[in-house]
Amino acid sequence: MFRDLNINNDRPVYLQIKDYIKELIIKGILQKDVKLPSTRELGEILNVSRNTIILAYEYLEDEGFIRIVKGRGAFVSDIKIKPQDNFNLSWDEKINDYARFAERLDIIKNEIKWEKGMISFKSISPDSSLFDMDEFKKAFLNRISMEGDKILNYGYAQGYKPLIEYLLKYMENKGVDVEGKEILITNGFTEGFDIVVSAITNKGDKIICENPTHNTAIKIMKLHELDIHGVEMDDDGMNINKLEEKLYKEEFKFVYIVPSYHNPTGIVTSPEKRIEIFNACRQRGVPLIEDGFNEELRYSGSHIAPIISLNGKGNGVIYLGSFSKILFPGMRIGWILADKDLISVLESIKRSRNIHTSFLDQAILYEYLKGGNFEKYLKRARKEYREKFEIAYKAAKELIPCRDIKGEGGLHIFVELRDINARDVLFECCKNGVIFTPGDIFYTDGKGKNTFRLGFSRVSKDEIIKGFKVIGDVVRKMEG
């Protein structure tokens, strides 16, 4: 039976032997007190060294599957595994309303999926080919050598202190007064926003956001059963008159806004509009949650400070930051910058859920950032994405018949068609190997059926032209 073991190069040989013998014992093929071949004999059978067999036997003994008697050999232990009748449940009957709602809101499951060979404009994550892997490897090795085994143990819920200090300085450089404020490290924007919403809202509370807005934010707010009031957008950001009208008519728990390279429209809220939105919230005492989405991907014009920078030493603005749409999204590192007393409460929520964000990931990211690598990366990334943005914007105007195209930077543009359902266009484009994100998923009120988002970060410049031509041809055909 031992000759049936096929050894490969995927795992250490001693572990393959250990697992094979364990499987024979569990299945009852090797019974209690059966003597195993000697280490020399099994080594000859499998054509491996005796030391390899010794190591495999030691692990089996450690796990309690065999006992080694000095001078006599290795014997199978008394492993009692008696199969019982199958224990089956109808899980569909036990899933609660929250889980069912989450599944319905899951666009990965419910939207058209990418298939090999397609040109996909769905993604707005960074192009990983731009990542400097040599510097990342150096950061990993440097931080491991400095921290040693400590970095592999439990950390602190608030986050890795050097990274927190770096991010506080990072926010100061954006014009933010961090006095009286603290940072909580999170698993990206998603966890950060969910923690904040969990802390300051109850079921049925009214909130305000832009319409359209970030689909993940909509999903989280719906799962918390909030009453979402969308405010339509002008070309320079949220319509201030409609925002003020809502704020003065009803009580709201917070206003959520994505002021820079807004998802999905790509609009950058003007400095003047930022001040107006800030003052409207301040006058009504309504917290403002600012999503720093893609803030770094400015291709032209002057720096526009985040809204939280308008607040000085005040504490009415909560800032959610993340590198996920710029750098290393797989690390899932984001942060909340807010009043230090609020952060203390949010820290407890974080600790109750997952103890802390990976300290190893935080430490590696800090080491990478502190060496100036982020600035070097941004310089390369901005150049590449600027070129793609200009190509995409121009190609959309030339190739796709539409009512409007929005986008001022970032990694996507937003198209509004002339009274054609974007999902019908998507269905036909899919047949021709092109997919994109329909715009209705970003709206709070079921509108946007004639809109769609085109992400260009992970497609080539040639694919942008080719894919947009397919979309344009489909739209022309539908327009007649």
Domains 112-129+380-479 and 131-374 fall in the same CATH topology: no
Mean pLDDT of 142-166: 95
Does residue 441 surpass a pLDDT of 70?
Answer: yes
DSSP code of residue 62 = H
Instruction: Answer left, alpha or beta for residue 211, where phi above 0 means left and psi between -120 and 50 means alpha.
Output: beta
Tell me: the pLDDT tens digits for 89-102? 999 999 999 999 99
The predicted model scores a pTM of 0.91
Domain ranges of the chain: 2-76, 112-129+380-479, 131-374
Q: How would you classify the pairing of strands 73-76 and 66-69?
A: antiparallel
Does residue 301 surpass a pLDDT of 80?
Answer: no
Q: Which CATH architecture has domain 2-76?
A: Orthogonal Bundle (1.10)
Using alpha carbons only, give the angle 305, 310, 315 rounded to the nearest 5 degrees. 125
Fold classification of 112-129+380-479 (topology level) = Aspartate Aminotransferase, domain 1 (3.90.1150)
Tell me: the pLDDT tens digits for 230-239? 999 999 999 9
Confidence of residue 52 (pLDDT cuts 50, 70, 90): very high
Fold classification of 131-374 (topology level) = Aspartate Aminotransferase; domain 2 (3.40.640)
Mean pLDDT of 172-196: 97
Q: Closest Cα partner for 262 from 124, 445, 426?
A: 124
Quote the pLDDT of residue 458. 95
